Copies of this chain bind each other. A is one copy, B any other.
Amino acid sequence: MKKRPVTSQQVAELAGVSQSAVSRCFSPKASIAPKTKAKVLAAAKQLGYRPNAIARSLITRSSRTIAVVMSQLDNPFYAQMLEYASRRFQQHGYHLLLFMSSDEQETTSVMSDILQSQADGILMLAATLSSSLAKECVARGIPVVMINRTVAFEGVSQVASDNYHGGYWVGCHLVESGCERIAFLAGLADSSTSSQRRQGFLDALAEHGAACWAEAIGDYDFATAQAATRALFSRDVYPDAVFAANDHMAIAVIDTLKAELGLQVPQDVAVVGFDNIPVAAWPSYQLTTVQQPIEAMVDEATALLLGQIASGQVTGERKVLPVTPIVRASAVSGT
């Protein structure tokens, strides 16, 4: 049977002090005589007392909880973010309440749960947020930070890596490597990350007097990217380079090229990805890619959320963090 937890009242009785004295012992900033504190702590230890965070939240109006919304944990990139974010917030005495939500409809119901949960802030990783929901959060004064997402609403903050310049670098790198028939494999159609990378890439090509040779859509999904690869390489003349909007798809491209089409990377086709997930460094792939500053992004998001929580102001800032090109064997200069 579930026992009733020990309360501060019981500790107070055992220690021969008032309940408020006990409370003060567990509040960092309250003033309490060392002697009474010792008595109280002794009694607390004896009874196995732990302050009830729920009761505390009710009165302080702060749950010390951040709601994080994710759509996919199978992408290691987001898994890494989540792990790091959790550790980061833990350091500041906050904990993450996890919500999975794939489609926008689900997000609506999830958002309702979040609002009820009294989370002090919301961290959106890879999920879409309708502007009406965003508006509701802002109206309630709950700070929202989105990572690598765009939403057409003022109140929410955004942290992103410099997708445009990442794409731009890829374009330059491939042209300068001598590639002439460069294809782009997009992620999700409505994803801002994919379209920003694409735009930078196209602009780079244009500045070099080149153009994108072919495009396909891979939905950030392995199987879809494989199908797209087959389509891109079904003609007699096929691309001599593929820029995939993320590493996961780039891996799919390489695998399909090698296993099904008998093509060599980078001898026959150069391949570049985006993210620099751990797999990209594996010997089988040696994927040239653009590294996103995961930790810096999370640090920024953490600072934004905690800052807004502390000040009680929701501001809606935008931060763009620099990316780092990583040249590996899948697309080297002078190929």
Q: Give the B-binding residues of A (Cβ under 8 A).
A: 1-5, 48, 50-55, 57-58, 61, 63, 65, 70, 72-74, 76, 79-80, 82-83, 86-87, 90, 95-100, 110, 112-113, 115-118, 136, 139-142, 222, 251, 254-256, 258-260, 278-279, 282-285, 312-313
Task: Please determine whether A260 and B278 come into contact, CB atoms closer than 8 angstroms.
Answer: no
22 residue pairs A–B, Cβ–Cβ below 8 Å:
A5-B118, A48-B139, A52-B116, A53-B116, A54-B58, A55-B58, A58-B58, A65-B97, A72-B83, A73-B80, A73-B82, A73-B83, A74-B76, A74-B80, A74-B83, A86-B98, A87-B100, A95-B99, A96-B98, A97-B97, A97-B98, A284-B284
Chain B positions within 8 Å of A74 at CB level: 76, 79-80, 83, 278
Q: How far is the CA of A260 from the CA of B286 in the complex (A)?
A: 13
Task: Please determine whether A141 and B90 come into contact, CB atoms closer than 8 angstroms.
Answer: no
Task: Please determine whether A54 and B52 come into contact, CB atoms closer than 8 angstroms.
Answer: no
Copies in the complex: 2
Q: How far is the CA of A256 from the CA of B141 in the complex (A)?
A: 53
CB distance from A261 to the nearest CB of B (A): 11
Nearest B-chain residue to A67, judged by Cβ: B95
* A54-B51 in contact given A80-B73, A113-B95 (Cβ < 8 Å): no
Chain B positions within 8 Å of A117 at CB level: 53-54, 95
Task: Please determine whether A73 and B63 come into contact, CB atoms closer than 8 angstroms.
Answer: no
Nearest B-chain residue to A226, judged by Cβ: B283
Chain B positions within 8 Å of A116 at CB level: 50-53
